[in-house]
Amino acid sequence: MTETRHEALTVLSEICELSPSVRLGQILSHLDFLTDAHLGKHLVDIDDDELLAILYRHQAELSARTEGDGPNRAVIATAVDQQ
């Protein structure tokens, strides 16, 4: 398994922990939506490094919500773009 794939699975696991009431299929569906919105592609058409960036974006949004700060999209986008 590549390092990128391992990291993506780790982040996916963390996303699941941040949203315990959301089913895995719902998370994957949402990741497809985010992939389309940010990359103009479907989840099945992206490379592992692109998936990792989408996973980090979603994780950052969820973390911001759970911390009570609300999602600061400009900061989140900047953090993801630097990855």
The first and second tokens of residue 61, run together, are 């949004």
Q: pTM, whole model, 2 decimals? A: 0.78
In angstroms, the CA 68 to CA 9 distance is: 26
Residue 46 neighbours by CB under 8 Å, 6+ apart: 35, 39, 54
**Residues ≥6 apart with Cβ < 8 Å to 44:** none
Q: Which tokens in the block code for residue 48?
A: 């592992």
Q: In the chain, what's the furthest Cα-to-Cα distance? A: 36
What is the residue-level pLDDT of the chain in tens, covering all 83 positions? 999 999 999 999 999 999 999 999 999 999 999 999 999 999 999 999 999 999 999 999 999 988 765 444 444 444 444 44
